[in-house]
């Protein structure tokens, strides 16, 4: 069972790393790039991104990170590796609250509102719409980024602790 627990912990690490990198890329490049172009283009681009991001590559990492971490935690717990189990459970909790819940409660509703918005023909109205969306969306994405990196750190720490046990 140790090899399964270890394998799942590595899978959790990879999934958390994928999500940390995904959110980081938005915070440190995608949103900056969209903020730098014409707001009409930014709105259209983000509407398109929000459609294509729902795919078979994104979903396993987004939904699987806490699930795999919790399954691994349970397996480590059964092997009396309490510290490893606790770190993995904490990683799952941090991700669930700081990335998953924020996505559901903040970013997705903003994405859905933007999806049904008609791109204004007036430049000032387009700028207002984009700025109203981009600022808060990016702020919440920073939270998701931080939570995902903390999740990654905790899973890495769990792997280190498993090696010490």
Res 114: pLDDT: 98
Res 92: pLDDT: 98
Residue 85 clears pLDDT 80, i.e. is over it: yes
Mean pLDDT of all residues belonging to the chain: 97
- Res. 1 pLDDT band, cuts 50 70 90: low
Contact 19, 65 (CB under 8 A): yes
Res 32: pLDDT: 97
Distance in angstroms (rounded) separating the CA atoms of residues 61 and 67: 10
Residues 13-53 have pLDDT tens digits of 999 999 999 999 999 999 999 999 999 999 999 999 999 99
Total number of domains in the chain: 1
Query: Which range marks the domain in which residue 99 is found?
Result: 2-164
Sign of CA dihedral 17, 22, 26, 29: positive
Res 165: pLDDT: 73
- Res. 11 pLDDT band, cuts 50 70 90: very high
pTM for this prediction: 0.94
């Amino acid at each position: 069972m140790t090899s399964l627990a270890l394998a799942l912990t590595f899978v959790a690490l990879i999934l958390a790393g994928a999500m940390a990198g995904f959110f980081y890329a938005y915070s440190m490049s995608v949103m900056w790039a969209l903020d730098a172009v014409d707001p009409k283009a930014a709105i259209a681009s983000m509407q398109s991104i929000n459609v294509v991001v729902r795919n078979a590559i994104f979903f396993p990492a987004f939904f699987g990170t806490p699930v795999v971490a919790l399954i691994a935690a349970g397996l480590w717990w059964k092997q009396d590796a309490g510290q490893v189990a606790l770190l993995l459970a904490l990683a799952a909790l941090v991700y669930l609250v700081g990335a998953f819940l924020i996505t559901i409660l903040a970013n997705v509703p903003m994405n859905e509102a933007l999806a049904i918005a008609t791109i204004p023909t007036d430049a000032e109205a387009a700028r207002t719409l984009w700025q109203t969306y981009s600022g808060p969306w990016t702020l919440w994405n920073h939270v998701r980024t931080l939570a995902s990196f903390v999740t990654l750190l905790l899973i890495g720490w769990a792997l280190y602790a498993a090696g010490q046990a």
